[in-house]
Structure formats: C-alpha cells, structure tokens
C-alpha cells in the first residue's frame, strides 16, 4: 500500500489501482481527491472537512463514496447514497480497503469549548488515523498517523500515546501550522534524540509517498 501525505491532516492510500483519501480539509490541495474512489472524514473541523470540496468531488465522480460520522453526514445532505454515516465499533469495506472505526469524541480543547464527534479509522488492520483525538484502538497498529500539533495536545501526551499504541512506524500529520523550527522541535522529542517511543518517527513533506507493508 502506498501512503501519500497531503496538506495538514490529509493522506491518500493507494493499492491495486484504488485510492482512499482521509480528511481532505480546507488546508489540503483539492488535487488530493483526483481519482479517489472513497473518502473518510474524521470530524467537521475545517482543517479536516470541506463541504464545498467534497460536494464538488462527489458531483464529478458519481462512484465516489464518503464515510464519516453522523454530524458531518448531515452537512452533506443531498449527495444521497454516496455518503454513509458510521461510528465507533463499525467495520466495513470500501474500494477494496477494510475499515474499522474507533473513537467517539474530539479531544478536549478546554472545558468551556464544547466537544464534537470524532472518529478514527483503522485501514486494513495496519494504518490508523485518529483524527483530532488520541484514541487507542484495542488492536495492534502497524503504522500510526500521529497528530503532532494542535490546541489540545502537548508533546508529552504524544510520547505517552505513541508508547501505548506501540506502532512500528509513526508518520506526522496535523502539522500544517508548524514552521520549520516547530517541526524540528517535535522531531527532537519523538525521534531518536527524544526520551524514546517504540516507533520509527518520520515527517513526510506534502506530496511525498512511502510504501506501507
């Protein structure tokens, strides 16, 4: 399976000529959806979900299927059977990929900020995208897409989270607001110079790809 990093929290997975895109939001080049067979959306924040972009993609590609939580699905009313609502504990197959859904809520930003639904997706029992939460799936994860920078997280939380999930590989996502200094600081803690995590940590540049086994 090939994983390609796009802007911020978006990745595209490709195998056997089929393309699955996760979280093509407002900080992502819409080109990420070119040739997509299916889209997964973790939650409604603009950096993960763009209603306009998804409506345009669905209209241009009638075979496109979108899976997301019920809150996002309601915002896509009118697309019809191209959109399916899903939630924690569900399992389904789309475009040749097997998906399991984990998690329910977005991470706490502040007690005064209302929480919204957030689901994570485990793809082919291998790659886990948690969205905006540090959800721990009750199963082995080979590759973790780690949200490295957000108003709700701290580096210490990321270290503990990566240790608990214990993937073989961790790739940075949710890094669109980091400059080069911030990126280096995060890598200093999560990489080989840090206090130690079980995964090999890497940050892919936008447009870069890597093979996942």
In the chain the domains, ranked by start, together with CATH numbers, are 2-203 (3.60.15.10)
How does pLDDT run across 173-202, given as a tens digit for each residue? 999 999 999 999 999 999 988 999 999 999
Question: What pLDDT, on a 0 to 100 scale, did the predictor assign at position 119?
Answer: 98
pTM attached to this predicted model? 0.97
Are the C-beta atoms of residues 14 and 210 closer than 8 Å to each other? no
Q: CA dist 103 to 147, 172, 199, Å?
A: 15, 20, 22
Are the C-beta atoms of residues 133 and 120 closer than 8 Å to each other? yes
Stretch 116-137: mean pLDDT, rounded? 98
**Angle 63-83-175 from CA coordinates, rounded to 5°:** 95
């Amino acid at each position: 399976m090939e994983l390609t990093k796009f802007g911020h929290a978006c990745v595209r997975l490709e195998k056997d000529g089929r393309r699955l895109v996760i979280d093509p939001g407002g900080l992502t080049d819409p080109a990420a959806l070119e040739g997509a067979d299916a889209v997964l959306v973790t939650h409604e924040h603009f950096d993960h979900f763009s209603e306009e972009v998804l409506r345009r993609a669905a209209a241009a590609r009638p075979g496109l299927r979108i899976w997301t939580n019920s809150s996002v699905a309601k915002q896509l009313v009118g697309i019809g059977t191209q959109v399916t609502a899903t939630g924690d504990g569900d399992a389904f197959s789309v475009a040749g990929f097997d998906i399991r859904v984990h998690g329910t809520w977005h991470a706490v930003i502040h007690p005064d900020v209302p929480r919204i639904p957030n689901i994570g997706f485990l793809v082919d029992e291998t790659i886990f995208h948690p969205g905006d939460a540090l959800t721990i799936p009750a199963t082995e994860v080979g590759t973790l897409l780690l949200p490295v920078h957000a108003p709700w997280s701290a580096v210490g939380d990321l270290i503990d989270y990566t240790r608990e999930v214990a993937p073989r590989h961790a790739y940075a996502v949710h890094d669109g607001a980091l400059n080069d200094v911030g990126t280096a600081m995060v890598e200093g803690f999560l990489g080989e110079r840090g206090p130690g995590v079980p995964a090999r940590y890497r940050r892919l540049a936008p447009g870069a790809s890597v093979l996942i086994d």
